[in-house]
Amino acid sequence: MEFRPVALAVFVALCAVRAVPASEPYAAEPAVALSRAAGDSVTIKASIEIAAPRAKVWAIMTDCARASHFVPGLKSCRVLKRDPAGRWDIREHKVSWMWFLPDVASVFRSDYEPPKRLRFHRISGTLKRSQGEWLLETMDGGRATRVIYESTVAADIPAPQFVVEAALKRDIAKILRALRRECASSRHAVRSSLKASPAGTDAAD
What mean pLDDT is predicted for residues 86-95?
96
* Pairing outcome for strands 42-50 and 74-82: unpaired
DSSP string, 31-47: EEEEEE-STT-EEEEEE
Q: How is residue 30 annotated by DSSP?
A: P
Looking at the structure, give the CATH architecture of the domain made up of residues 26-185: 2-Layer Sandwich (3.30)
178 φ, ψ (degrees, to nearest 5): -70, -35
Q: Among 49, 59, 60, 45, which Cα is nearest to 137's? A: 49
Tens of pLDDT, residue by residue over 68-84, are 999 989 999 999 999 99
Task: State pTM to two decimals.
Answer: 0.79
More confident residue, 12 or 69: 69
Q: Binning pLDDT at 50, 70 and 90, where does residue 11 land?
A: very low
Cβ 57 vs Cβ 47: under 8 Å = no
Tens of pLDDT, residue by residue over 185-202, are 875 445 555 544 333 333
CA atoms of 125 and 92, how far apart (whole Å)? 9
